[in-house]
Amino acid sequence: MTEARAYVTVASHDGTDLAALAAELKAAWPCLQHTIVLEAAGGGAVLDRLLDSVRSPDFLSVFSVGGTVVLAPDGSPDTVFPLIA
């Protein structure tokens, strides 16, 4: 069982409605607080860039010791502290 708090996906892929899957996951897992569905053109490319950044050595080091990475629109305390509370 995961304790993920967010799920990020593109709206659809190869005819599969991934937005509907995201809604089902959120309903089934109480710890899942956010679903982010990229619906704009190029959503897959945006997701690929996001995943590439998470695969960086810095992120992998955090994950290897059981840490959590929080992605935020900026690094201000007003934005970040509520995300990690």
- Render pLDDT for 26-74 as a digit per residue (tens, 0 to 9): 898 888 888 888 776 665 676 677 677 666 667 677 777 777 777 777 6
Q: Are 32 and 6 in contact, with CB atoms under 8 Å apart? A: yes
Tell me how crowded residue 78 is: count the other CB atoms within 10 A of its CB: 7
Say what the pLDDT of residue 15 is: 84
Say what the pLDDT of residue 36 is: 82
Q: Is the pLDDT of residue 85 over 70?
A: no
Q: What is the mean pLDDT of residues 10-38?
A: 85
Name the DSSP class of 29: -
Say what the pLDDT of residue 81 is: 80
71: its two tokens:
């992605």
Say what the pLDDT of residue 40 is: 63
Q: How many residues does this entry show for the chain?
A: 85
User: How many degrees, rounded to 5, is the angle at CA 18 between CA 14 and CA 7?
Assistant: 135
Q: What is the mean pLDDT of residues 13-33?
A: 86
Which distant-in-sequence residues (6+ apart) come within 8 Å of 54 by Cβ? 69
